[in-house]
Amino acid sequence: MPVHHALCRALLGAIAFAVSTSTWAAEPTVVNVWPGKAPGEVKELPPEQDINKPTDKLIGGRKIIKLANVSTPTLTIYGSTTGKPRPAVIVCPGGGHYILAMDLEGTEVASWFDQIGVTGIVLKYRVPARNPEKRWEAAVQDAQRAISLTRSSAKEWNIDPKRIGILGFSAGGETAGLAAILHAQRQYPASDKIDEVSARPDFAALVYPGGFIQKDKPQVLPDYVKIDSTTPPMFFAHSADDGVPVANSVLLFTALQNAKIHSELHVYASGGHGYGRRDIGHPCDAWSDRLQDWMRDQSWLHQ
């Protein structure tokens, strides 16, 4: 082969590699959830900040981001804008409606979804809770808007509008679950065309969720949690030794079963709480594999 042909091939190969690497490593897109201030926002909070301390517990041998003082909700989108429209999952980090575990239960999970062909979208919802009577209210408002925004932007974001799910951890699991259950009851006054688009997720995944048992009636769902034929299918993962009682998942799963809504529950013997997708050396490390299996079985993933 002539030397110049070999050089040309090598150069073209290097260019192709650089382009593919650049595409793969492209920065995620960030968009605001609301066109202006979120509903009911009247108080100015200090700037957002990571309040993790050097003495805080490590998860999987690493520290986590504990983001506080969120007033401007955003979506961070990990996905490809080329090729066949993809399924999408909106990811709601946990944090007790006080902070957001942004990497552990947000960006790391969204990046994993991207790797398996699903557009992962991290919802940075408002914390701390605004309404002491409904600690979930601001978060669910943000989640409902996020679902409508994602579906209305499906073409632009290369998303299949009929395969949009929502996943949440802990308080984010409560947020995701209530966004799914209350999908027909928008928790804020509609203000534009985006709010005319359905806020019903096609499926929901709740990982060690809280908020679904009552302190005085631990075997009864809260009055506002009503399951009917329009409730989306759900997936649950929880550890039996979690300080957030596994009954939160079991009770809601049972209600879904009674209503004949497809659901799947995984209860692991150990693992505690707040592990995200990090390896902590317990069987619960496999929950995301089981979620992927469930999504494939239900045709939420491309075959």
Structure token pair of residue 124: 């940075």
DSSP, collapsed to helix, strand or coil, labels residue 287 as helix
pLDDT for 20: 37
Per-position DSSP letters for 59-75, written without gaps between them: BTTB---EEE-B-S-EE
CA pair distance 25, 245, nearest whole angstrom: 39
pLDDT for the residue numbered 18: 39
* Domain 26-297, CATH: 3.40.50.1820
pLDDT on residue 165:
98
What is the pTM for the complete model shown? 0.90
**pLDDT block averages, 10 residues each, the chain of length 303:** 41 39 65 95 92 95 97 97 95 98 98 97 97 96 98 97 98 98 96 96 98 88 95 98 97 97 97 97 97 96 76
pLDDT at 303: 62
Q: Tell me, what's the pLDDT at 14?
A: 41
Q: What is the pLDDT of residue 11?
A: 39
What is the torsion angle, in degrees rounded to the nearest 10, for the CA atoms of residue 302, residue 171, residue 234 and residue 213? 170
DSSP 210-237: -SSS-SS-TTS--TT----TTSPPEEEE
